[in-house]
Amino acid sequence: MSARKNLQKGLIAILASCFLIVLDQLTKYFAVLNLKGQNPYVIIPEVFQLRYLENRGSAFGMMQNKQLFLLIVTVIFLALLIWFFFKLPDTKKFRPLEVILVFVLAGAIGNMIDRIRLEYVIDFFYFELIDFPIFNVADIYITVSGITFFILFLFYYKEEDFNMVFGSRAKKR
């Protein structure tokens, strides 16, 4: 891919990521303003509510108070995502994967901002009906992207598509 195309692709990804990160941070800001220190705001009784939580761990509250470790893992993960993003061929076939990577990147950065700034992540969506762990917009980006990637991996992308990305080493495996 030409340097100009790479730059264009990168700028679009940065702008999209920035928009998604701002959206995530705004929702967390409003959660602090309206939910912190308050009783949960019930949207659908016994099903869904907005409930403020300061999550000092990772997904689903695991690894509590391991902020430095989580930051290091996030930085490594972000570097791998960016590398993979630019490794993708510039074809229509890989656009869905590019979009997924932008959402995952934005979600990871959104939660990393909280960890750096606050030493915890602000969560506020709670499905009481299934007692699902409290989560936020960045978590939605990551989770929906992960599910979408899995579906694409199963039904859309073929082995030869990944051979295009990773070259001949993937063919030998």
Q: Which residues are catalytic?
A: 123, 139
Instruction: Say if CB 85 and CB 6 are below 8 A apart.
Output: no
Q: Cα separations (Å) of 150 from 33, 63, 100, 108?
A: 36, 25, 11, 18
Instruction: Say if CB 43 and CB 120 are below 8 A apart.
Output: no
The 8-class DSSP code of residue 37 comes to T
Joined together, the tokens standing for residue 37 give 């220190």
